[in-house]
Amino acid sequence: MSELIDGGEGLLEALRALGIQHIFSSPGSEWAPVWEALARQRRDGVSGPAYHDLTHETVAVGMATGYWLAARRMAAVLLHAGPGLLQGANAIHGALLTGAPMLICSSESITYGEAHGPDPGSQWYRNLSVVGGPHTFAAPWVKWSNQAASVEVLYEMTLRAAELASRAPAGPVYLNVPLESLLAAWQPPPVRKPVAPRGARWSPTHEIDAAAAALAGARNPVILTESAGRDPEAFHALVALAQLLGAPVIEPQSAVCANFPKDHPLHIGGDVSQAAGADLVLLVACRSPWYPPSASPAPDAKVMVIDDVPQRPHIAYQVLHADRYLEGEVANTLQALVDALSPGVDRELADARRSRWTAVHDNLMAAVEADERRALEQADRITPALLAKVLREELPGDTIFVDETITHSRVLQRHLRWQQPDSWFYVQGGLGQGTAVALGVKLARPQQPVVLTIGDGSFLYNPVIQALMASRDLGLPLLIVIFNNRQYLSMKLNHLRFYPEGAAATGNDFDGVDLSTQPSLSAFGAPFGIPGHEVRDPSGLRAVIREATAQVAAGSSVIVNVKF
């Protein structure tokens, strides 16, 4: 008896054509046709994507985000019906903000099962209650949303969806693949070939030349960047451009990755107000650089924007104050500017700027070191600055940090001195994705240590049990360091910002803040054989971090709960 090749094989064949290497899934029973196709793939030794069964939608989507951040390869995500799609919505929205391309599918019945063939079962009852179909309610938090309403269009719709995901602005796309389409007999299309990579895009020569002339004529140019480092080539090209101009680089608090070496003499920290005296501000891959709004440049300053898509369509309110745009791939644009500027830049002026900004950088480093000395003097407690210093000094130089702290994120940005691209990532979107994103990064970079820095409130938002189970089952060891102040400190600080002398402040009576009843967070890994450490005494911190680092190197995730 010959095997029926159905839509499950069609979907899997499309993923093969796309070169997708990983499927992350928190599935439901409707995915049986794809599971059958995967079983055939393993039985017959056919090359194709690896399938990862996970037990929470946030873990599945977050791993796809982290994998893209570190590998720059798109993954597929299979979720269960409407509720599963909604459960993953927080992480999907985070992927949209991150600009992480991924193909997200759920399989919803669109009939009662009238067509000849297998009864779709109880899927119809659940899924026909989704008004307008799941692609309509997914639309606001993905880049593109549609459905493959028949098996005849399934293969090409899958290719189209994934190709749209990878085009600028990159992001997650959603495709409903009805169970009826998966169960129907599928005929391979007459033409099947690998999907071509997207083409390169950059500004034409006359635009580059005009921009180079503007930079060369500026007396005091300043560079701001939030995400140039998403491309390692852009990271290095930005260093070359800054060095050539003698222009300083600011990574504002809205930075989401490592963009520029922290020890470089032209790195001047994250204070946007330092651009106040600039006559030309160069924004490199920035979404919202002017925060607070009072930090906007002087009215007579020129603003030049370099970005693949400067106006992000998912941002409702975005102010760039641009006078000139260079649109296209950031690395290409930066390198083209370096090439155009090199013959004509005023070396004497650039050297003078470089000297002046080096002094600013040195003062910044001195202030950071002073903070750390004060932290060491507080013998009775661990401070966030001390913890960041110990992490920086004790962890291997190729460590990748994934950060999901809130009130401590600026401390980490200040004290973690990254020197290379892909050494620090900040989790975007709603809290609760950090462990999953870190697991995806570790999957992409198995030979490098991956550290998740996370607040106790953020940790409790995460699907901790499911993430730790995935860590153990997939062999992806993480060092999880909890910055634990036993409260939602960001909520308290925002309350005090609006009501500094209000009833809550004068009576120390805050709602939405207290986490003092939390269980021992370091013990959460015990059911999975994951060791935990709890440390409050600063004299023992360095030894704990060393021991935890050794345990991670030996193959186990470790939770270090640091109490401030």
Tens of pLDDT, residue by residue over 113-144, are 666 666 666 665 555 556 677 888 899 999 99
307 and 426 belong to one structural domain: no
- CATH number of the domain to which 306 belongs: 3.40.50.1220
Per-residue pLDDT at 2? 62
Phi, psi of 483 (to 5 degrees): -85, 100
Mean of the per-residue pLDDT values for the chain?
A: 94
Helix or strand run (H / E) with residue 452: strand 450-455
Strand runs (DSSP E) across 74-218, as ranges? 75-79, 102-106, 144-147, 172-176
Strands 172-176 and 450-455: unpaired
Domain that holds residue 474: 378-563
The answer to whether residue 372 is domain-embedded is no
Count of the separate structural domains present in the chain: 3
Half-sphere exposure of 370 (CA within 13 A, CB side): 6
65 and 171 belong to one structural domain: yes
The answer to whether residue 212 is domain-embedded is yes
Tens of pLDDT, residue by residue over 316-371, are 889 999 999 999 999 999 999 999 999 989 999 999 999 999 999 999 999 999 99
Q: Please tell me whether the overall predicted TM-score, pTM, comes out greater than 0.75 for this model.
A: yes
- CATH number of the domain to which 396 belongs: 3.40.50.970
User: How many of the other CB atoms lie within 10 Å of CB of 511?
Assistant: 9
442 and 538 belong to one structural domain: yes
Mean pLDDT confidence for 303-312? 95
Mean pLDDT confidence for 262-289? 95
Q: In the chain, what percentage of residues exceed pLDDT 90?
A: 84
Tens of pLDDT, residue by residue over 59-114, are 999 999 999 999 999 999 999 988 899 999 999 999 999 999 999 999 877 776 66
User: How many of the other CB atoms lie within 10 Å of CB of 17?
Assistant: 16
Tens of pLDDT, residue by residue over 359-391, are 999 999 999 999 999 999 887 899 999 999 999
The answer to whether residue 502 is domain-embedded is yes
343 and 417 belong to one structural domain: no
What torsion do the CA atoms of 502, 508, 514, 519 make, to the nearest 10 degrees? 170
135 and 210 belong to one structural domain: no
353 and 418 belong to one structural domain: no
User: How many of the other CB atoms lie within 10 Å of CB of 189?
Assistant: 13
pLDDT band, very low/low/confident/very high, at 186 (cuts 50, 70, 90): very high
The whole-angstrom separation of Cα 262 and Cα 29 is 49
Q: From 331, 361, 391, give the residue that closes a domain.
A: 361
Mean pLDDT confidence for 394-422? 96
The answer to whether residue 146 is domain-embedded is yes
401 and 541 belong to one structural domain: yes
214 and 97 belong to one structural domain: no
**Taking the mean position of all CA atoms in its chain, how far away is CA 452?**
13
The whole-angstrom separation of Cα 271 and Cα 273 is 5
Q: What angle do CA 302, 303, 308 make, to 5 degrees?
A: 155
pLDDT band, very low/low/confident/very high, at 294 (cuts 50, 70, 90): confident
Pair 189, 213: CB distance under 8 Å = no
